[in-house]
Amino acid sequence: MNAAPTLLVTGGGIGIGRATALAFARTGYHVVVTDVLETEGRAVAEAIVAGGGSANFIAMDVRDTGRVDAVIAQVCAARGAIDALVLNAGIARKVPLAELTDEHWDHTVDIDLKGMFRVARAALPAMRARGAGAIVCLTSLMGVAWGWTEHVHYSAAKSGVIGLMRGLAAEVATDGVRVNAVSPGYVRTAQLLSAEHSLGPDGVEQAAARVPLGRVGEPEDIAEVILFLASDGARYVTGQVLVADGGLSICPQ
Ligand SMILES: NC(=O)c1ccc[n+]([C@@H]2O[C@H](COP(=O)([O-])OP(=O)(O)OC[C@H]3O[C@@H](n4cnc5c(N)ncnc54)[C@H](O)[C@@H]3O)[C@@H](O)[C@H]2O)c1
């Protein structure tokens, strides 16, 4: 329907999602930025257009099934099936186990795991019907290899993302759609810089010293990996987790 392939990214207003939107735009994708952060998301789409690219912003909360279904239907009607779907939206909330209520658990899992399922479920029929497309999910070192104290619900959700990814990959492979995951280590974003919920600015600098490659990741480091997994260069890769952590997971801490 359209010459330019289409990326839809969730949580595209800041952080890794924003860097992903910009990276795909540079390679010629039309970028659909979605987020609950409307000002930030709109600014990303406007920056892409101002730079000569093609993008639009649509407000979308991944907790809202009706909204997700309507947004995906709108995008497919305008552009045909989505070519690259990046399931990036996520939160990390620090809650000690003794205070971890059902509500805390459900809130994180609803966004970090079920939110990805909702968007993939809505987008896949058109991708499968066309017989092409790639999905990339954001998991975490905290879901792949490490436990994270006071973040049991986050680790559980991020491990769940791997099961979701593998299940989807197996089910849609014969339709020509690939599904993979990226596992970042420490990436300098609002999530990591939160002193309340994660390392905070001082903790980030201390963490950098422990990373074998000598620094924490930047959002662009992860965006490039996502771009690869969505590209034809990864045409024979599906159901995999690509760890982009500067070597953290292979060295004793
Ligand atoms: N930063 C890191 O070190 C790190 C490490 C491992 C994994 N991750 C994962 O990478 C992804 C991006 O993280 P980030 O570091 O860029 O975080 P971030 O906090 O900078 O951005 C998260 C984005 O998700 C959006 N979001 C949150 N709730 C939403 C909802 N209900 N509906 C739609 N959008 C929603 C936010 O508005 C924001 O745009 C997340 O899934 C995160 O868990 C990050």
Distance of alpha carbon 127 from alpha carbon 81, whole angstroms = 5
Q: Which residues contact 203 (CB under 8 A, 6 or more apart)?
A: 195
- The 3-state DSSP class for residue 34 equals strand
With the most atoms of ligand 1 within 8 angstroms of its CB, the residue from 39, 57, 88 to mutate is 88
What does each of the 253 residues of the chain score in pLDDT, given as a tens digit? Answer: 568 999 999 999 999 999 999 999 999 999 999 999 999 999 999 999 999 999 999 999 999 999 999 999 999 999 999 999 999 999 999 999 999 999 999 999 999 999 999 999 999 999 999 999 999 999 999 999 999 999 999 999 999 999 999 999 999 999 999 999 999 999 999 999 999 999 999 999 999 999 999 999 999 999 999 999 999 999 999 999 999 999 999 998 8
User: What lines the ligand 1 site, CB under 6 Å?
Assistant: 10-11, 13-17, 35-37, 61-63, 88-92, 111, 138, 140, 184, 186-187, 189-192
Q: From the alpha carbon of 141, which atom of ligand 1 is closest?
A: 6
Closest C-alpha to ligand 1, atom 19: 191
Residue ranges of the alpha helices (H) in the chain? 15-26, 38-50, 65-79, 102-109, 115-130, 141-144, 152-172, 190-193, 200-210, 219-230
pLDDT value at residue 187: 97
Residue ranges and CATH numbers for the domains of the chain are 6-245 (3.40.50.720)
Query: Which tokens go with 57?
Result: 């912003």
pLDDT at 1: 52
| Catalytic residue positions, numbered | 154
- Cut 0.85: pTM above it: yes
> How far does the centroid of ligand 1 lie from the alpha carbon of residue 139, in Å?
10
